[in-house]
Amino acid sequence: MNLQFLADGLITGSLIGLGAIGVTLTYSILRFSNFAHGDLMAWGAYAALTLLGLISALVGSVAPIGVLSFGWPLILAAGLSMALVGGMALVLDWLLFARLRAKGQAIIVVMASFGASMALRSLLEFIFTSKPAYFSRAIQMAMPVGLGIRVTPDQIVLLLVTLALVVAMHLFMERSQTGREMRAYSQNPALARVVGIDVARIVRATWMIGGGLACAAGVMVGILVQIRPLMGLDMLLPMFAAAILGGIGSIPGAVLAGLIIGLSESAAVQLVGAEWRAGVAFAILMGVLLIRPTGLFGVAER
């Protein structure tokens, strides 16, 4: 058996996990399934693409860093886009979700996120057309790393970046005051207010983080694969499956589950054929819901 699927699965899985952090946070803190989360990814990729174009227009062409396919302009564009998409998520919340949340029916908010998802996606197709776009035209050579596995330098670096983001996120949730408040709020919103936690600030932090990480995942998919308006939609089911398999609210859970799903997907591609890829996340999702609805690290709702 060819072990290449391990490398592919690890990389896809880490990106699924990164996106799933936002899904699991919105679910546990704002208490709804945000189906527009994938579209924040796509918007993030296009925002970075646009900013990259602007930067290149200003400073001319910049050589890539070492063996990578991209240089500092893309890193800068990605950083700015993360802030932009975080801000965009805030605007979306202010325009749409906050008003509906105040009415207290979660299902209406979920439906609204469906609508927002379609609108955001159509807007991308309208502005950028549905033709795939790329950050760079350069072709990267995959290097053999043993056991018959080949990876590109981009893949290795982005895997490390993802790892760093996940660790930073985990430390933020565990060690910072805002992280503690977010965990407290997700456990008991009413008590959070009583003890003096500013709910509005928690909601803002959740959107900024969820949007920022979605954008980071989107840019990385853009670097490793391609940029398309539908890229977020394609990631949506695996991200939800990861959030649920990991246990709602658990960041390590979401990341580990993302890896499991990524690896299962690429194993399935190799073993039974590429057309089964999308079915894997679905099968895992159904299995978890039936056998252990609280997921790997989840706790039962009180």
Distance CA 25, CA 172 (A): 13
For residue 95, which phi and psi values (nearest 5 degrees)?
-70, -40
Least distance to another protein, CB of residue 95, Å = 23
Q: Is 193 in the site for another protein (CB under 8 A)?
A: yes
Residues 207-266 that bind another protein (CB under 8 A): none
Question: What letter does residue 132 receive in the DSSP assignment?
Answer: -
Q: Please identify, among the stretches 56-64, 87-95, 136-144, 195-203, the one whose residues bind another protein according to the rule CB under 8 A.
A: 195-203
Q: Is 197 in the site for another protein (CB under 8 A)?
A: yes
Q: Is 300 in the site for another protein (CB under 8 A)?
A: no
Give how many residues touch another protein by CB under 8 A: 19
Q: Is 91 in the site for another protein (CB under 8 A)?
A: no
Least distance to another protein, CB of residue 197, Å = 5
Residue type at 3 in one-letter notation: L
Q: Is 195 in the site for another protein (CB under 8 A)?
A: yes
CB-based contacts of 36, cutoff 8 Å, min separation 6: 92, 113, 114, 116, 117, 120
**Are 88 and 37 in contact, with CB atoms under 8 Å apart?**
no
Least distance to another protein, CB of residue 194, Å = 6
Q: Evaluate the CA torsion angle 159, 162, 166, 171 in order and state its sign.
A: positive
How many CB atoms lie under 10 A from the CB of residue 275?
9
Orientation of helix 251-271 relative to helix 277-291, angle to 10°: 130
Residues 172-191 that bind another protein (CB under 8 A): 177, 180-181, 183-184, 187-188, 190-191
Cβ-based nearer residue to another protein, 150 or 193: 193
For residue 105, which phi and psi values (nearest 5 degrees)?
-110, 110
Site string for another protein, 4-43 (x = CB under 8 A): ----------------------------------------
Least distance to another protein, CB of residue 218, Å = 31
**Are 212 and 83 in contact, with CB atoms under 8 Å apart?**
yes
- The residue ranges that bind another protein (CB under 8 A) are 177, 180-181, 183-184, 187-188, 190-199, 299, 302
